[in-house]
A and B are shown apart, each in its own frame.
Chain A
Amino acid sequence: MRGRRPGKPMSFRNSVTIVASPRPRVGKTLLARLLTDFHLHEGRSVAAFDLNSGEGTLAQFLPEHATASEIVDIQGQMALFDRLVADDGTTKIVDLGSESFESFFALASQIGFAEEARRRGIAPAILFVITPDHTSVEAYRGLRRRLSPATLAPVLNEMLGPAQHRDKYPTSGSGASLARFPVLAPGLRRYIEKPPFSFADSRLANAKDIPLDVHIELQRWLRKIYLEFRELDLRILLVDLQSSIRLQS
Chain B
Amino acid sequence: MARPAVVLVGADKGGVGKTTIARTLLDYFGAHQTPTRAFDTESPRGTLKRFHPYVTEVVDVTSVPDQMKIFDTLGNAEARVTVIDVRAGLLSSTLQALSDIGFLESAKKGQITFAVFHILGPSIASLEEIAATARFVGDANYYLVKNHINDTSFFEWDPATYNSYFKQIKGAEEITIPKLNEMACEQVEVASVPYVSFVANKNAKGEAANYSFVLRGYVRHWLGNVWGEFDRVKLVDLVAPKMESNIRQAAG
Q: Which residue of A lies closest to B211 (CB)?
A: A82
Known: A1-B201, A110-B221. A78 touches B208 (CB 8 A): no
Interface contact B215-A78, CB-CB below 8 Å: yes
Q: Which residue of B lies closest to A116 (CB)?
A: B213
Residues of A within 8 A of B212 (CB): 78, 82
Interface contact B201-A81, CB-CB below 8 Å: no
Interface contact A74-B208, CB-CB below 8 Å: no
Interface contact A111-B208, CB-CB below 8 Å: no
How many Å lie between the Cα of A85 and that of B216 in the bound state?
A: 12
B208 touches which one: A1, A81, A82, A112 (CB < 8 A)?
A: A1
CB of B160 closer than 8 Å to a CB of A: no
A113 touches which one: B183, B184, B217 (CB < 8 A)?
A: B217
Minimum CB–CB distance from B18 to chain A (whole Å) comes to: 26
Interface string of A85-118 (1 = CB under 8 A from B): 1000000000000000000000000111100100
Minimum CB–CB distance from B196 to chain A (whole Å) comes to: 15
CB of A77 closer than 8 Å to a CB of B: yes
Residues of A within 8 A of B214 (CB): 74, 77-78, 81-82, 111
How many Å lie between the Cα of A110 and that of B220 in the bound state?
A: 9
How many Å lie between the Cα of A85 and that of B221 in the bound state?
A: 18
CB of B230 closer than 8 Å to a CB of A: no
CB of B227 closer than 8 Å to a CB of A: no
Known: A1-B208, A110-B221, A111-B220. A74 touches B183 (CB 8 A): yes
Residues of B within 8 A of A77 (CB): 214
Residues of B within 8 A of A1 (CB): 201, 208
Minimum CB–CB distance from B220 to chain A (whole Å) comes to: 6
Q: How many residues of B contact A (CB 8 A)?
A: 15
CB of B218 closer than 8 Å to a CB of A: yes
Known: A74-B183, A85-B213. A111 touches B201 (CB 8 A): no
| B residues 182-225 touching A (CB-CB < 8 Å) | 182-184, 201, 208, 212-218, 220-221
CB of B111 closer than 8 Å to a CB of A: no
CB of B246 closer than 8 Å to a CB of A: no
* Majority-rule SS of B interface residues: helix
Residues of B within 8 A of A75 (CB): 183
CB of B181 closer than 8 Å to a CB of A: yes
Q: Which residue of B lies closest to A86 (CB)?
A: B213
How many Å lie between the Cα of A75 and that of B184 in the bound state?
A: 11
Interface contact A111-B181, CB-CB below 8 Å: no
Interface contact B183-A111, CB-CB below 8 Å: no
B221 touches which one: A74, A81, A82, A111 (CB < 8 A)?
A: A111
Minimum CB–CB distance from B212 to chain A (whole Å) comes to: 5
| A residues 47-103 touching B (CB-CB < 8 Å) | 74-75, 77-78, 81-82, 85
How many Å lie between the Cα of A113 and that of B201 in the bound state?
A: 15
Interface contact B213-A81, CB-CB below 8 Å: yes
Residues of A within 8 A of B213 (CB): 81-82, 85, 111, 116
How many Å lie between the Cα of A112 and that of B218 in the bound state?
A: 9
Residues of A within 8 A of B221 (CB): 110-112
Residues of B within 8 A of A111 (CB): 213-214, 216-218, 220-221
Q: Which residue of A lies closest to B181 (CB)?
A: A74
Interface contact A112-B217, CB-CB below 8 Å: yes
Minimum CB–CB distance from B190 to chain A (whole Å) comes to: 14
Minimum CB–CB distance from B222 to chain A (whole Å) comes to: 10
Residues of A within 8 A of B184 (CB): 74
Q: Which residue of B lies closest to A80 (CB)?
A: B214
Minimum CB–CB distance from A102 to chain B (whole Å) comes to: 17
Q: Which residue of B lies closest to A77 (CB)?
A: B214
| A residues 124-165 touching B (CB-CB < 8 Å) | none
Interface string of A1-22 (1 = CB under 8 A from B): 1000000000000000000000
- Residue among B213, B214, B216, B218 with the most chain A CB within 10 A? B214
How many Å lie between the Cα of A74 and that of B214 in the bound state?
A: 8
Residues of B within 8 A of A82 (CB): 212-214
11 residue pairs A–B, Cβ–Cβ below 8 Å: A1-B208, A74-B182, A74-B183, A74-B214, A74-B218, A78-B214, A110-B217, A111-B220, A112-B221, A113-B217, A116-B213
The 7 A-B residue pairs with the shortest CB-CB distance in the complex, in nearest-first order:
A111-B217, A78-B214, A81-B214, A110-B221, A74-B183, A77-B214, A85-B213
Residues of chain A at the chain B interface (Cβ within 8 Å): 1, 74-75, 77-78, 81-82, 85, 110-113, 116
